[in-house]
Structure 1
Amino acid sequence: MPDARLTMVLGAVLMLGIVLLALRWTFGTGRDHPAPYLPDPDDPTGDGLLTEVSRVPTEAAAQVLRSRLTDAGIRATVGRADGGFRLLVFRADLADARVVVHEDGPRE
């Protein structure tokens, strides 16, 4: 009889180990994954998920640039800054937004 109990205990321990490994594999964090960018909450110039792509002196200029970005499929917003207006986009769209903002307007 002791062999049956020992087999049952070892089987339970083995199953528990398999379940723990499966959970670790499913929900664990790998060391090869880079940590996400976390902005400093104490930084007064921080914009959270948004990054400044351009700064212009007038609101009309900011709205023109924002509409160009919207036409290109890039989400953008306008914010006030010291003596001007800031055009803000998501960090993932920053490279594309710089291309759109710095290209010449339509030629006639």
Structure 2
Amino acid sequence: MILGIPKRILIIVAVLAAVGLIYVMGAGKRASEATGGSTGCKVTVTADVLNVRSAPDPNAGIVGKFNQNAQTGAEPVVQNGFRKLADNKWAKTDFLKPVAGNCG
């Protein structure tokens, strides 16, 4: 016992505090990743369901999906008719409508 508190309780409190600290320190990084890019470009999905692919190729693997009217961050990079949303995340430009930022 330390200061009248059992060691087991002190260990639990220390672990919870460490997990909380790690979560708070990573919050800013998670927010910037969610927006997709650092350019401030934001797009709206116009398709009923839009496949997000791992490369700017219609045969590339699907790594995610967006429903119609979803908004996401993007980058001004366009290749082969696909806009880069983030690393290894591309969507067909035909189904994306820029709404804000420097979408190029």
TM-score (norm 2): 0.34
Give the number of the structure whose residues are more often helix, by fraction.
1
Greater relative contact order (CA < 8 Å, ≥ 6 in sequence) = 2
